């Protein structure tokens, strides 16, 4: 049976291959694009021995920290927002890394028992420039001393071909967005007349926070997966199709 779904998947370049492999086995037509380029921020190599816990915000945080020559005391507890980042951190630094079981966001990470009782502890957050402050502010409010290090920045990838947008508007009926940055850059690249197309599309997003950034779409047309992992997004796309 041929699917009527024509999906536009807005996600980082490094997630492309797994999605391509999975969806190519289905009848769903799709195209992928990223509105974000990632640039490293120069950080001096350092060994971190005096932290009770380290939080990894993303796979890019792990990669660029490793490239910068970061190392950690073997007893340091490590945490990540999602399982893909947790696995990468564990494999890269040789330390078991925990993450929330079901929903993969900062709010769920903060609900882990180890992050509830942090009074007088010293924590480090490794992230991208201009990331959310929720983890930093909440851990401080719970009595921890918190440091953060930015190891990369996101910059907008300019869409130079107007024909690409026209093609999307004429064919796409499902939009999949994995981050607020992708959504913001995507919307700012569209012409005014794209509004009616956006409102006709179904949407798949990883979180309620991202869903709330799409007020121009009926709530029942937005699917929230609870995670930005490739497997969760693929599952939602196939289920839609």
Task: Please give the Cα distance from 173 to 139 (Å, whole number).
Answer: 41
Q: What is the mean pLDDT of the chain?
A: 92
Model confidence band, residue 24 (pLDDT cutoffs 50, 70, 90): confident
Span 55-69, average pLDDT:
96
pLDDT above 80 (res 3): no
Model confidence band, residue 231 (pLDDT cutoffs 50, 70, 90): confident
pLDDT above 70 (res 1): no
Span 12-32, average pLDDT:
83
**∠ CA 43-17-96, rounded to 5°:** 50
Task: Please give the Cα distance from 162 to 159 (Å, whole number).
Answer: 8
Q: Is 85 helix (H, G, I), strand (E, B) or coil?
A: helix
Model confidence band, residue 135 (pLDDT cutoffs 50, 70, 90): very high
């Amino acid at each position: 049976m041929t699917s009527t779904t024509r999906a536009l998947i807005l996600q980082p370049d490094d997630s492309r291959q797994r999605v391509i492999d999975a969806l190519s086995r289905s009848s769903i037509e799709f195209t992928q694009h990223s509105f974000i380029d990632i640039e490293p921020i120069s950080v001096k190599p350092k060994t971190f021995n005096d932290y009770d816990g380290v939080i990894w915000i993303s796979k890019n945080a792990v990669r660029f920290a490793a490239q910068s020559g970061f190392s950690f005391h073997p007893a340091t507890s490590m945490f990540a927002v999602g399982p893909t980042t947790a696995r990468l951190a564990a494999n890269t630094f040789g330390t078991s890394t925990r993450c929330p079981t079901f929903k993969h966001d900062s709010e769920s990470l903060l609900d882990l028992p180890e992050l509830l009782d942090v009074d007088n502890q010293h924590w480090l957050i490794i992230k991208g420039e201009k990331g959310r402050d929720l983890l930093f502010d909440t851990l401080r409010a719970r009595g921890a001393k918190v440091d953060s290090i930015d190891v990369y920045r996101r910059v907008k990838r300019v869409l130079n071909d107007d024909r690409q947008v026209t093609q999307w508007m004429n064919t796409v009926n499902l939009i999949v967005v994995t981050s607020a940055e992708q959504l913001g850059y995507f919307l700012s690249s569209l012409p005014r007349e794209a509004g009616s197309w956006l409102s006709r599309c179904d949407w798949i997003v990883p979180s309620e926070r991202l869903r709330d950034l799409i007020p121009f779409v009926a709530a029942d047309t937005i699917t929230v997966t609870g995670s930005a992992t490739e497997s969760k997004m693929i599952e939602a796309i196939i289920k839609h199709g």
